[in-house]
Amino acid sequence: MTITHWINGEPAAGGERSQPVYDPATGQSAQEVQLADRATVERAIAAAEQAYPAWRDTPPLKRARIMMKLKDLLEQHADAVCQLITAEHGKVLSDALGELQRGIENIEYAGYVPELLKGEHSKEAGPGIDSWSEFQPLGVVAGITPFNFPAMVPLWMWPMAVACGNTFVLKPSERVPSAALYIARL
């Protein structure tokens, strides 16, 4: 079995190179992961750039509701995610569940984005000076994550970035790619 990429909401092949993904409990490999080439990365960035204007203009409350749906889906599919973490990383299921739970808590926090994005206003911060801050999305942002927390670290990054109106390109560790890919599919 070959693990591909996930671009623009669907599986996407890309890159001529691949490498095995090992089960640390057995030392065996039952699957390979495609390693993205430059063209694949550029395709992922282009898809994120294309999605950005509409996503940026999506009201924060709607983005928050989508995050809450993701939270619910992860809770419903926690066993499957944890099995993937265990099979590729070697964590016992209870550790994998703890990792996923901490990631889910970050999604829950991202659900508060309508309140977090309100900004601040200070009237008369100085003589005749009002001060305010506005929070705006940046655009396409990216995260490169290590192997040691295949679900939690990506969930530290992209839920808040996406909830704030950005689009996101994730490069999970090639040693443990399946949990991040499964979460993206959800």
Which domains are present in the chain? Answer: 2-184 (3.40.605.10)
**Cα gap 85→132, rounded to integer Å:** 44
pLDDT recorded at residue 126: 87
Kindly state the tokens that stand for 39.
């063209």
pLDDT value, residue 45? 98
Apex CA 97: angle with CA 85 and CA 100, to 5°?
Answer: 75
Tokens standing for 186?
A: 């959800």
Q: Which residues of the chain fall below pLDDT 70? A: none
**What pLDDT, on a 0 to 100 scale, did the predictor assign at position 170?**
97
